[in-house]
Amino acid sequence: AGADVNEIERPGEDDFFGRTALHIACGGAHVRFSWVAVDTLLEHGAHTEARNYAQETPLHCAAAGSKPRNVRRLLESGADVRARSRRGNTPLHKAVAVNSRACVDALIAEGADVNASNERGKTPLFFAIHYGKLDLARLLLRIGDDRAVFHA
């Protein structure tokens, strides 16, 4: 019996976010070749739909970390492109917020909803405008429809 790839870090131990190793590897902020860790974890049964305490999946973490290779690998492994965090954000919201065009493209290619609203009614388009990501705003407007609403 080997290590449990789906073990969740607990408060008072290493981390208080409730992440799995896959969450950590997907964000890859400190790992240049995080995709190697992601591939290894997935090959050993890591759950693509594991949730941290914010109800984010590894796909949210990969998008927020601007890791398009990890985003694509998770999607190939069946990750839910429309997964919602506790606050209702999708991986697309996260990718737009960090201006990751490659992640945005990968998510949209797999059916991400460009008009998805979070719990406060904010869409990825709102995030693009709010964070000054005008190229992404133009892309979302081209892809979306008239209902890609701006919420104040």
pLDDT tier at 117, thresholds 50, 70, 90: very high
For residue 149, is pLDDT > 80? no
Q: Which domain holds residue 35?
A: 21-143
> Is residue 34 in some structural domain?
yes
The whole-number average pLDDT for the span 98-121 is 97
Confidence of residue 49 (pLDDT cuts 50, 70, 90): very high
> Among residues of the chain, what percentage have pLDDT more than 90?
71
Is residue 99 one of the residues assigned to a domain? yes
Q: 49-54 long-range CB contacts below 8 Å, 24 or more apart?
A: 49/79, 49/80, 49/83, 50/6, 50/8, 50/20, 50/22, 50/23, 51/18, 52/8, 52/17, 52/18, 52/19, 52/20, 52/23, 53/16, 53/17, 53/18, 54/17, 54/85, 54/86, 54/87
Q: What is the mean pLDDT of residues 89-115?
A: 97
CATH number of the domain residue 42 falls in: 1.25.40.20
The answer as to whether 10 is a domain residue is no
Percent over 70 (pLDDT), the chain: 85
Residue 152 has what pLDDT? 43
Give a yes or no: residue 15 inside a domain.
no
* pLDDT at 16 > cutoff 70: no
Identify whether 14 is part of a domain: no
Instruction: Please report whether residue 7 resides in a domain.
Output: no
pLDDT at 28: 72
Domains of the chain: total: 1
pTM over 0.85: yes
Please report whether residue 102 resides in a domain: yes
3-state DSSP assignment of residue 136: helix
30-39, 44-53, 95-104, 105-114, range with the lowest pLDDT? 30-39
